[in-house]
């Protein structure tokens, strides 16, 4: 699927998407580098500006500058806008502008939208985008409304409403940016804030196709195999992660050890939800046990679901890999679940994505181990995985990154948001058959 620019340059749909994110990042960086964007009224270093812009557009949440202390209200609004664009995708906003102006959505735009939404066909795409926009703004509105019951009494009407809107958008888009400077650590015992943020993260991470099916729910049997796999994998990861996090951190005084049982359960649940891939934290990440940190790394790497605001390997990919392993152990020829089988091609794509993801994290960790002298291995692995999964959690390494480390994390956040999607879309293209096959080769495995 190619598009011609002035009859000279032909761009594929995935290339248009990749360039679109780059354009949004650079425009955001230019605006953030201006004196008006900082509280001090001075220009911001361009490396820090582009790091922040990349983190916002790629809905990551890693920061080299404190969002509350450094950026002015204007700068914070710019960051919030970039988060919304990155979470929903620039094509969704292009469609929104076209609808507002009364313009007709062209076939070319529909084809690019198909690439962006990762759907099977262009039928019903405009209706789906309309639904996504209405649903997103509605959920964010109600999220902000609930958060305002806690923030307005504490910060006043103007600041309280702004904080509510900002954090509602940041949570739904799985971005993890906060205006408190300490994430949600000061709200560890506030059930309303923790549960509302958790709900926004989960809803934003399910995927718009799944949310559309849930909205038009006609019975469990009518749900697609994709939606069933997303929902089941998400439930297992969230509650399995909660149980393990509670077990690992139960007696740790630096995280949840000194809390009552209600707060221990609440914060263990949040520590399981947020790494996929929101980046908020209600307990100090540096104080967690080694087991808790490693569990967080695993959850960050898996991430959210396809077609959502989240990053990472994706729940469906992880679920398909697990089902394939189970099928191999049982001696079955195909990967099967719910009375359906998956093609070998789909399984190959899942393993390819796993290999690419692991390779990116390993290479980044290796480079960081050279550039960030004095940092522990777990800190480096945590940072690299957070960038790939577009999570935003850190063990305190991000603010002290070297210039090379910052550039590497910019690339990781970009590839984490755009790369895996681009790989999937390019792999799903129809390939030409060679017309012949080589003789079968035999090797020993294991």
Residue 38, helix vs strand vs coil: strand
Q: Which residues are registered as beta bridge partners of 3?
A: 11
Residue 403 near residue 93 (C-beta atoms within 8 A): no
Q: Which residues are registered as beta bridge partners of 12?
A: 2
What are 408's two structure tokens?
């590497």
H or E element at residue 365:
helix 344-371
Q: How far is CA 348 from the centre of its chain?
A: 23
DSSP assignment of 253-274: TTTTTTS-HHHHHHHHHHHHHT
What are 407's two structure tokens?
């550039």
Q: Which residues contact 431 (CB under 8 A, 6 or more apart)?
A: none
Give the CA angle between residues 342, 208, 151 to the nearest 5°: 140
Q: d(Cα 18, Cα 12) in Å, to the nearest integer?
A: 10
Start-end of H helices in 58-106: 67-70, 73-88, 90-101
Tell me which residue of 312, 249, 250 sits closest to 275, measured CA to CA. 312
Q: Which residues are registered as beta bridge partners of 335?
A: 342
What are 63's two structure tokens?
């920061």
Instruction: Work out whether strand 340-342 and strand 335-337 pair parallel, antiparallel, or are unpaired.
Output: antiparallel
Looking at residue 59, what is its pLDDT? 87
Q: Which residues are registered as beta bridge partners of 117?
A: none
pTM of the model: 0.87
Residue 302 near residue 312 (C-beta atoms within 8 A): yes
Looking at residue 129, what is its pLDDT? 74
- Could you say which DSSP state residue 71 is in? B
Q: d(Cα 4, Cα 16) in Å, to the nearest integer?
A: 11
- Per-residue pLDDT of the chain (446 residues), as tens digits, is 444 444 445 555 556 667 778 888 999 999 999 999 999 999 999 999 999 999 999 888 899 999 999 999 999 999 999 998 888 765 565 555 555 555 565 555 555 555 555 555 555 666 777 777 888 889 999 999 999 999 999 999 999 999 999 999 999 998 989 999 889 999 999 999 999 999 999 998 888 778 878 877 777 777 888 889 999 999 999 999 999 999 999 999 999 999 999 999 999 999 999 998 888 999 999 999 999 999 999 999 998 888 777 788 889 999 999 999 999 898 888 888 888 888 888 898 889 889 989 999 999 999 999 999 989 999 999 999 999 999 989 998 999 999 999 999 999 998 887 766 565 555 555 555 566 677 877 676 66
**Cβ neighbourhood burial of 274 (10 Å; 0-12, 13-18, 19+):** buried
Looking at residue 416, what is its pLDDT? 83
Q: d(Cα 80, Cα 106) in Å, to the nearest integer?
A: 29
Q: Which residues contact 195 (CB under 8 A, 6 or more apart)?
A: 266
Residue 172, helix vs strand vs coil: helix
Compute how many other C-beta atoms are within 10 angstroms of the C-beta atom of residue 3: 15
Looking at residue 6, what is its pLDDT? 47
Looking at residue 216, what is its pLDDT? 77
Q: Which residues are registered as beta bridge partners of 341?
A: 336
Looking at residue 337, what is its pLDDT? 85
Residue 238 near residue 272 (C-beta atoms within 8 A): yes
Instruction: Work out whether strand 2-5 and strand 340-342 pair parallel, antiparallel, or are unpaired.
Output: unpaired
Residue 383 near residue 398 (C-beta atoms within 8 A): yes
H or E element at residue 329:
helix 315-329
Looking at residue 222, what is its pLDDT? 78
Q: Which residues contact 128 (CB under 8 A, 6 or more apart)?
A: 117, 119, 208, 209, 212
Tens-place pLDDT, residues 430-439: 555 566 677 8
- Could you say which DSSP state residue 223 is in? S
CA distances from 127 to 23, 96, 175, 431 (A): 26, 12, 26, 30
Looking at residue 305, what is its pLDDT? 85
Q: Which residues are registered as beta bridge partners of 340?
A: 337
Tell me which residue of 288, 199, 193 sits closest to 246, measured CA to CA. 288
Tell me which residue of 58, 21, 22, 51 sits closest to 409, measured CA to CA. 51
Instruction: Work out whether strand 335-337 and strand 2-5 pair parallel, antiparallel, or are unpaired.
Output: unpaired
Start-end of H helices in 34-182: 46-57, 67-70, 73-88, 90-101, 107-117, 125-155, 157-172
Q: How far is CA 298 from the centre of its chain?
A: 14
Residue 44 near residue 37 (C-beta atoms within 8 A): yes
């Amino acid at each position: 699927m190619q598009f011609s620019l002035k009859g000279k340059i032909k761009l594929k749909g995935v290339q248009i998407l990749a360039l679109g994110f780059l354009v949004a990042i650079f425009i955001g960086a230019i605006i953030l580098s201006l004196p008006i964007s900082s509280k001090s009224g001075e220009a911001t270093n361009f490396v820090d500006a582009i790091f922040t812009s990349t983190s916002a557009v790629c809905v990551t949440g890693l920061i080299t500058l404190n969002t509350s202390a450094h950026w002015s209200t204007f700068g914070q609004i710019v960051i919030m806008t970039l988060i919304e664009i990155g979470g929903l995708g620039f094509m969704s906003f292009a469609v929104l502008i076209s609808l507002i102006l009364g313009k007709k959505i062209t076939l070319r735009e529909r084809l690019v939208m198909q690439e962006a939404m990762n759907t099977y066909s262009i039928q019903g795409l405009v209706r789906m985008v309309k639904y996504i926009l209405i649903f997103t703004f509605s959920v964010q509105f109600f999220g902000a409304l609930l958060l305002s019951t806690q923030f307005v009494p504490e910060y006043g009407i103007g600041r309280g409403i702004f904080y509510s809107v900002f954090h509602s958008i940041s949570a739904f888009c799985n971005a993890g940016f906060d205006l408190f400077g300490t994430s949600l650590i000061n709200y560890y015992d506030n059930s309303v804030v923790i549960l509302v943020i958790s709900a926004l993260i989960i809803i934003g991470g399910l995927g718009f196709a799944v949310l559309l099916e849930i909205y038009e729910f006609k019975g469990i049997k009518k749900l697609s195999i994709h939606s069933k796999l997303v929902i089941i994998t998400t439930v297992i990861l969230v509650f399995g992660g909660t149980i393990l996090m509670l077990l690992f951190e139960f007696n740790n005084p630096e995280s949840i050890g000194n809390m009552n049982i209600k707060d221990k359960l609440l914060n263990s649940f949040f520590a399981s939800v947020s790494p996929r891939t929101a980046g908020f934290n209600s307990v100090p990440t540096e104080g967690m046990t080694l087991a808790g940190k490693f569990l967080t790394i695993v959850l960050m790497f898996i991430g959210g679901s396809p077609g959502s605001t989240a990053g990472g390997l994706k729940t469906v990919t992880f679920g398909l890999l697990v089902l394939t392993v189970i099928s191999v152990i049982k001696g079955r020829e195909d990967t099967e679940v719910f009375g359906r089988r998956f093609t070998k091609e789909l399984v190959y794509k899942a393993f390819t994505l796993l290999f690419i993801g692991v390779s990116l994290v390993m290479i980044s960790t290796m480079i960081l181990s050279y550039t960030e002298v004095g940092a522990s291995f777990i800190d480096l692995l945590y940072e690299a995985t957070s960038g790939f999964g577009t999570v935003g959690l850190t063990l305190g390494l991000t603010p002290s990154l070297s210039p090379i480390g910052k550039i590497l994390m910019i690339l990781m956040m970009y590839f984490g948001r755009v790369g895996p999607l681009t790989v999937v879309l390019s792999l799903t293209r129809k390939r030409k058959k060679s017309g012949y096959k080589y003789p079968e080769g035999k090797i020993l495995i294991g």
